Structure 1
Amino acid sequence: MFYNFILVLLLLCNSHSLVDSLNEEGYALLSFKQSIAEDPEGSLSNWNSSDSNPCTWNGITCKDQRVVSLSIPKKKLSGFLPSAMGALSELRHVNLRNNKLYGSLPLGLLQALGLQSLVLYGNSLSGSVPNVIGKLKYLQSLDLSENLFNGSLPASIIQCKRLRTIDLSQNNFTGFLPEGFGSGFVSLEKLDLSFNKFNGSIPSDMGNLSSLQGTVDLSHNLFSGAIPASLGNLPEKVYIDLTYNNLSGPIPQTGALMNRGPTAFIGNPGLCGPPLKNPCSSEVSGASPPSSIPFLPDNSPPGDSDDNGEKSGKARGLSKTAVIAIIVSDVIGICLVGLLFSYCYSRFWARSMVKDENGFGKGGKGKKECLCFRRDDTETLSENMEQYDLVALDTQVAFDLDELLKASAFVLGKSGIGIVYKVVLEEGITLAVRRLGEGGSQRFKEFQTEVEAIGKLRHPNVVTLKAYYWSVDEKLLIYDYIPNGSLTTALHGKPGLVSFAPLSWSVRLNIMKGIAKGLVYLHEFSPKKYVHGDLKPNNILLGQNMEPRISDFGLGRLANIAGGSPTLQSNRIPTEKSQERQQKSAAPTEAYVVSSSSNLGSCYQAPESLKVVKPSQKWDVYSYGVILLEMITGRLPMVQVGSSEMDLVQWTQLNIEEKKPLLDVLDPNLMHDVDKEDEIIAVLKIAMACVHSSPERRPIMRHISDALDRLTTSAV
């Protein structure tokens, strides 16, 4: 009996020692586990008090047996953050993004004074940011975006001078930005305050943030007053988004604020001046400041007294008769010059054009110049009105027109804007050549300006225009050849072929990301802040590693300028019929261009296209959203429902309203990727935001791209 008692006592003591073996940091983390009401994926299942320390627990990283990192993102954790976590004195990194955490940001957590990154975006945290955040002297990254935080930003945050990232977007923050906000963050590289309720004026010292990169996003707030001219001091590559505030007054034309499209300033009715169409009041009235009125040395300002001390009533300028005479003589002179120009121009084209034996117009040999248009030899070829040679837009172009015309060519496809050929040069270089056809020589300068601007675009997700050729009979655009055909073919297969290799979810996601990055470049970083206007899977080409390349950008405008239709046939570049005969005895070529019906093409156009002629960036966003739906569902943009048809957007909305399971919507070829359900649903939400009926409610492409980048899947 005595020995049994001793044995029980030893077991109890040993059990007590096991319970007490966990160190203080472990207990601090167990308080976090206890505050979590739901852990559906069992992310905290191995957090046990029987361990001596928490260094082997999921999401925990230690250094010298001290916790330095807590990282449990995207695990659907539901609960709150306990103050006891401040006991982790060596804690450097906290990443709890994309969970379901609620409650306030506890003061205790901010007692971990060594914190370098605090990433809590994508939760439901609320309340204000505690003033003690200013004690985090080593904080470099603060991301509280996509939560429910409110109140004003504490002035103490200026003391976090090492901050490199501040992302507070999509919350309910209010109030003024703290004084010294601009001059306090010398290392700040990213600033996103969008979709809040910040008010007051934009700090004039924000131009001191010389380390900023990418986009400074102050959009969708309540900022008022004038745009500080000092913002122009920001690095020129920085894009400043001031849309949808209450800003007013003229837009400063300095530094980083210059050469910006109107999309950076829309939603501010009080703003005026370029690049907006509404001029400032002084411009409307035509009045100039008194100090800027020029006076000739011999004249005195209007209204000055004469030698007799009386007001001079004589006009100081030209009389009305003199002004009318000058205008009439100018008009007559212009008409005479126009007649002379027209005469010489017609003679020049009649005599200079020499057709080669294959039907292409080539100038130079046997050409007789009209003396009116004799050119200086120093003029560059691209400035000539009569264009008869290939113009390179890429320094790596190492071929000329003769090599191009002698090369082997195969029809890749035909669309409403010309035929596209695969051309293989003797050196093995492969190109894609689009013929815009014949017609119109009078708009060469306009064509030249447009095509050379497009030729400057360089992005890994945008097809590069390498060169062009213009003559009366031929207009050719020469592009990089993209080997894996269009996204349409990759999703639905080639016409007439029953089987094809479907794209996995990881490949599709990378394609979605690439298209988004290409559109962000066109919308925000291209010289003219371009809009594609005709985005669809046919215009998305896939490279060697299935990377997407946006094609046919600006094509409609170029075809309109070139005039005519591609009806001219040539022996050097084979006709479509002759090519079809070649294809009967050869393997099928890539579906580079796939003709689609106008009905299908219109499904990618935003609803406002029925009322608005000119496409907008939000128009592209809608088209992109339809493409996302097509990639998720595997369906064409028109869905057969019983005996009737419904567009893909309406069909998807109907399934969501009826709360159909994901498998009813998902492409059957993705059934083996059902473990990626969270990512698929996340992309589906993005797609539905893109296809919102109201353009103003659609996100911008940069926000879409950022959201997709947060999804970690990569192609294998």
Structure 2
Amino acid sequence: MHALFLLVLVICNFYGPVDCLNGEGYALLSFKESIHQDPEGSLSNWNSSDENPCSWNGVTCKEQRVVSVSIPKKKLYGFLPSALGSLPVLRHVNLRNNRFFGSLPVELLSAQGLQSLVLYGNSFSGSLPKELGNLKYLQTLDLSENFFNGSLPTSVVQCKRLRTLDLSRNNFTGPLPDGFGSGLVFLEKLDLSFNSFNGSIPGDMGNLSNLQGTVDLSHNLFSGSIPPSLGNLPEKVYIDLTYNNLSGSIPQNGALMNRGPTAFLGNPGLCGPPLKNPCSSDTPGASSPSSYPFLPNNYPPENADDKGGKKGRGLNKSAVIAIIVSDVIGICLVGLLFSYCYSRVCAYGKDKDESRYGFEKGRKRRKECLCFRKDESETLSENLEQYDLVPLDTQVAFDLDELLKASAFVLGKSGIGIVYKVVLEDGLTLAVRRLGEGGSQRLKEFQTEVEAIGKLRHPNIVTLRAYYWSVDEKLLIYDYVPYGSLATALHEKAGMVSFSPLQWSVRLKIMKGVAKGLIYLHEFSPKKYVHGDLKPSNILLDQNMEPRISDFGLGRLANIAGGSPTLQSSRIPMEKPQERPQQSASSEVSAVHSSANLGSFYQAPEALKVVKPSQKWDVYSYGVILLEMITGRTPLVHVGSLEMDLVQWIQLCIEEKKPLSDVLDPYLAPDADKEEEIIAVLNIAVSCVHSNPERRLTMRHVCDALDRLVVSSD
């Protein structure tokens, strides 16, 4: 093949370079020739008559040199030729979700400047070449959902800049290489699930301090004990060890603590909490149960009376005497408590009783004095129950105990509390926000507010399913929205595997969905609500890319709960924007441009002067989001050495009559034929961010205008 390129270059030099494709172009033409089927015509403009390949579909050049070949999801059927390795400055290869087969050519690994190699969702097979270690600059290696086999070459630990390693759903075997944890210290994502890796889990994996999201080692053949060093991983990392051959006690430290049993299922040899299989006294490393992630350590655990261990031979005489003495003391204490209840509780009236005790299981409070009367003994025990999950609709089929036993890991933290992703044993996934630890005297206020929010039902608003209240803990249980936030979808780094630029049609769908959600809040909710803090980080996307507005009323609830909320719908200081935690597995990747870091730029100018929020605040925030979706820029724009907000920058572009191409997100270049539609949406956005609130559109007018666009485009 290289001899052929040399011949081509000689011929080109003989006839002159002007009318001849350069060597990189011929290397790519050999790639085209290796494709047996191209049903969508993705390579139709790859022609030898061009001077260079820089204008070809899927090819990106820098200074007329090919740096990227990206042709994902085009149903290409063929094999991967060795010629790609001859591209001297190749940095990125993305052929995910096609139908490529055959082995990974060793020659491809000659492109030593390669930074990302994404081949997942194909039918590649064979073992990985040891030359993989030559890729010193490799940051992303995603070979998942193929048929690769053999062991992972030891040379992989030489790829010291690797940040994403996804080998899931292949046929890899053998142990992980020595130095796996100490050599790949920059790893942020690790997924080895659904293979046949065996041997012990390397003890040095605890050195991977940059890991995020889920470390997935599930469905393999790993054996031996769980190394306690795994607890040294970041605490918000979720470690999935299910369905291996692991044995021994589960270490109770760091990232291994506060996990539900589903993280360890399918390992019959494991014992100890959170599993129901207790460790015998001679099991190495046997430990005591840990607390649940949501509740304080004094929450009564399941089987609190079961002490475990071996049975004794009976009680000796001194023990019996001690029990009798303690019983006498206990009876005296009960008498004192009875006297206190009668003199204090009844004397101070019904209101103080209600503020002291928690919710009943039936969410109905007693209004009588809580004194001990024989005919009320059963209802008394319910009145005193402080650990109670309150459902907000009839579809809630789980209880507090199931919630606490579930697998949970931290999605993010902020001044408004911690957000967990929780997977129940039946597979139901929820998002749980843990609020402050005070506010014990504002129970009725919290109940009124949260039940009002719980009544909101709209396809474009995240549903609040249940809540929990006690003196020490307040939890909000929402539907889990799996595809992350709009902020991540717009501004996630292009080098990350999961990054896929949003097409204009998808953006238009999101814009319309958010508008519908706001119309519901403004016009059809019981109190004609105002969101007050709308931004891309709290617009979540489901599996159909349908937007779901979240965090409505959160600032108010956090304030009632006794925390120190940094986000409130009525007053949000511009000089102190706060980051909102991410909500889904895809958002586990850090989006450096997240709008959550720039929250103040979504606020209407009058928000700094007026205490009571209005619906026009939401319209302004929505307008900024429209501008962000059109331009691809964050709300803070850098122009040379200057900084200005996105609204000011758009106004400047309009005054200077810049062409749309200077304003448009580069990822929307393929949608250039939608120019009229894009300009129409830009005009809507400009109307929404008018400095005079009275001259802004209503969300009803915005939605009608977007509907007309969709009809006209059809």
Give the structure-1-normalised TM-score.
0.51
- 386, 398, 403: which one pairs with 1:447? 386
Q: Which residue of 2 aligns with 1:514?
A: 481
Instruction: Work out whether 1:362 is the aligned partner of 2:351.
Output: yes
Letter in 2 for 1:230: S
* Contact kept in structure 1, 2:212 and 2:237, CA below 8 Å: yes
Q: Which residue of 1 aligns with 2:75?
A: 76
Describe the SS at the equivalent of 1:170: coil
Letter in 2 for 1:168: L
Letter in 2 for 1:120: L
- 316, 333, 350: which one pairs with 2:329? 333
Measured in 2, the distance between the counterparts of 1:464 and 1:64 equals 51
Q: Which residue of 2 aligns with 1:133?
A: 132
Letter in 2 for 1:259: N
Letter in 2 for 1:244: Y
Indicate how the Cα distance of structure 1 residues 258 and 134 shifts in structure 2: closer, same or farther if over 3 A, else same. Answer: same
Q: Which residue of 2 aligns with 1:476?
A: 447
Q: CA deviation at 1:437?
A: 5.0
Indicate how the Cα distance of structure 1 residues 283 and 155 shifts in structure 2: closer, same or farther if over 3 A, else same. Answer: closer
Structure (1 or 2) with the larger CA radius of gyration? 1
Q: Which residue of 1 aligns with 2:159?
A: 160
Q: CA deviation at 1:590?
A: 5.0
Q: CA deviation at 1:175?
A: 0.7
Describe the SS at the equivalent of 2:450: strand
Q: CA RMSD, aligned part only?
A: 5.1
Q: How does 1:145-156 map to 2 (within 5 A)?
A: 145-156=144-155
Measured in 1, the distance between the counterparts of 2:14 and 2:318 equals 112
Measured in 2, the distance between the counterparts of 1:256 and 1:153 equals 26
Measured in 2, the distance between the counterparts of 1:31 and 1:630 equals 37
Q: CA deviation at 1:15?
A: 13
Q: CA deviation at 1:345?
A: 1.6
Instruction: Work out whether 1:387 is the aligned partner of 2:347.
Output: no
* Contact kept in structure 2, 1:164 and 1:188, CA below 8 Å: yes
* Contact kept in structure 1, 2:365 and 2:383, CA below 8 Å: no
- 445, 452, 457: which one pairs with 1:486? 457
Q: CA deviation at 1:516?
A: 5.8
The CA deviation string for residues 170-228 of structure 1, in whole angstroms up to 9 with x for no partner, is: 11111110111111112111111111111100011111112222221111111000111
* Identical pairs, percent: 56
Q: Which residue of 1 aligns with 2:221?
A: 222
The CA deviation string for residues 348-403 of structure 1, in whole angstroms up to 9 with x for no partner, is: 332211xxxxxxx433xxxxxxxxxxxxxxxxxxxxx8626999xxxxxxxxxxxx
Measured in 2, the distance between the counterparts of 1:104 and 1:285 equals 44
Q: How does 1:663-678 map to 2 (within 5 A)?
A: none
* Contact kept in structure 2, 1:390 and 1:468, CA below 8 Å: no
Q: How does 1:672-687 map to 2 (within 5 A)?
A: none
Measured in 1, the distance between the counterparts of 2:14 and 2:177 equals 55
Q: Which residue of 2 aligns with 1:144?
A: 143
Q: CA deviation at 1:151?
A: 1.1
Q: CA deviation at 1:442?
A: 4.8
Q: CA deviation at 1:262?
A: 2.1
Q: CA deviation at 1:245?
A: 0.9
Indicate how the Cα distance of structure 1 residues 17 and 136 shifts in structure 2: closer, same or farther if over 3 A, else same. Answer: same
Q: Which residue of 1 aligns with 2:348?
A: 352
The CA deviation string for residues 78-105 of structure 1, in whole angstroms up to 9 with x for no partner, is: 1111111111111000011111211111
Letter in 1 for 2:481: G
* Contact kept in structure 1, 2:213 and 2:588, CA below 8 Å: no
Measured in 1, the distance between the counterparts of 2:331 and 2:217 equals 52
Letter in 2 for 1:447: Q
Measured in 2, the distance between the counterparts of 1:471 and 1:61 equals 59
Describe the SS at the equivalent of 1:351: coil
Q: Which residue of 2 aligns with 1:54?
A: 53
Q: Which residue of 2 aligns with 1:504?
A: none
Measured in 2, the distance between the counterparts of 1:324 and 1:137 equals 71
Measured in 1, the distance between the counterparts of 2:440 and 2:285 equals 45
Q: How many residues align?
A: 428
Q: Which residue of 1 aligns with 2:203?
A: 204
Describe the SS at the equivalent of 1:479: helix
Measured in 1, the distance between the counterparts of 2:314 and 2:480 equals 64
* Contact kept in structure 2, 1:216 and 1:238, CA below 8 Å: yes
Q: What are structure 2's unaligned runs of at least 5 residues?
A: 1-10, 288-312, 368-378, 391-399, 405-415, 422-430, 463-477, 486-511, 529-541, 548-582, 592-666, 672-680, 682-705, 707-714
Measured in 2, the distance between the counterparts of 1:628 and 1:53 equals 39
Q: CA deviation at 1:71?
A: 0.7
* Contact kept in structure 1, 2:143 and 2:168, CA below 8 Å: yes
Instruction: Work out whether 1:89 is the aligned partner of 2:75.
Output: no
The CA deviation string for residues 239-286 of structure 1, in whole angstroms up to 9 with x for no partner, is: 211111110011122222223222221221111112222111117999
Q: Which residue of 1 aligns with 2:114?
A: 115
* Contact kept in structure 1, 2:358 and 2:385, CA below 8 Å: no
Measured in 1, the distance between the counterparts of 2:19 and 2:386 equals 80
Measured in 1, the distance between the counterparts of 2:441 and 2:588 equals 41
Q: Which residue of 2 aligns with 1:247?
A: 246
Describe the SS at the equivalent of 2:239: strand
Describe the SS at the equivalent of 2:73: coil
Measured in 2, the distance between the counterparts of 1:193 and 1:109 equals 23
Q: CA deviation at 1:111?
A: 1.2
Measured in 2, the distance between the counterparts of 1:176 and 1:137 equals 23
Describe the SS at the equivalent of 2:281: helix
Q: How does 1:460-475 map to 2 (within 5 A)?
A: none
Indicate how the Cα distance of structure 1 residues 285 and 70 shifts in structure 2: closer, same or farther if over 3 A, else same. Answer: closer
Describe the SS at the equivalent of 1:514: coil
Indicate how the Cα distance of structure 1 residues 76 and 471 shifts in structure 2: closer, same or farther if over 3 A, else same. Answer: closer
Indicate how the Cα distance of structure 1 residues 388 and 321 shifts in structure 2: closer, same or farther if over 3 A, else same. Answer: closer
Letter in 1 for 2:171: N
Letter in 1 for 2:351: K
Measured in 2, the distance between the counterparts of 1:86 and 1:56 equals 20
Q: Which residue of 2 aligns with 1:270?
A: 269
Q: CA deviation at 1:704?
A: 8.9
Describe the SS at the equivalent of 2:39: coil
Describe the SS at the equivalent of 1:207: helix
Q: CA deviation at 1:488?
A: 5.8
Describe the SS at the equivalent of 1:178: coil
Measured in 2, the distance between the counterparts of 1:43 and 1:181 equals 39
Q: Which residue of 2 aligns with 1:367?
A: none
Describe the SS at the equivalent of 2:329: helix
Measured in 2, the distance between the counterparts of 1:254 and 1:138 equals 34
Letter in 2 for 1:362: D
Measured in 1, the distance between the counterparts of 2:116 and 2:245 equals 33
Indicate how the Cα distance of structure 1 residues 63 and 704 shifts in structure 2: closer, same or farther if over 3 A, else same. Answer: closer
Letter in 2 for 1:191: L
Q: CA deviation at 1:339?
A: 3.3
* Contact kept in structure 2, 1:169 and 1:192, CA below 8 Å: yes
Measured in 2, the distance between the counterparts of 1:218 and 1:341 equals 53
Indicate how the Cα distance of structure 1 residues 340 and 321 shifts in structure 2: closer, same or farther if over 3 A, else same. Answer: same
Measured in 2, the distance between the counterparts of 1:703 and 1:79 equals 32
Q: Which residue of 2 aligns with 1:67?
A: 66
Query: Which deviates the most, 86-95 or 267-276?
Result: 267-276
* Contact kept in structure 1, 2:213 and 2:585, CA below 8 Å: no
Indicate how the Cα distance of structure 1 residues 465 and 283 shifts in structure 2: closer, same or farther if over 3 A, else same. Answer: same
Indicate how the Cα distance of structure 1 residues 35 and 252 shifts in structure 2: closer, same or farther if over 3 A, else same. Answer: same
Q: CA deviation at 1:140?
A: 0.8
Measured in 2, the distance between the counterparts of 1:211 and 1:114 equals 23
Q: CA deviation at 1:320?
A: 2.7
Indicate how the Cα distance of structure 1 residues 458 and 544 shifts in structure 2: closer, same or farther if over 3 A, else same. Answer: farther
Indicate how the Cα distance of structure 1 residues 588 and 184 shifts in structure 2: closer, same or farther if over 3 A, else same. Answer: closer
The CA deviation string for residues 304-354 of structure 1, in whole angstroms up to 9 with x for no partner, is: xxxxxxxxxxxxx9993332222122223212322332343244332211x
Indicate how the Cα distance of structure 1 residues 448 and 545 shifts in structure 2: closer, same or farther if over 3 A, else same. Answer: farther
Describe the SS at the equivalent of 1:447: coil
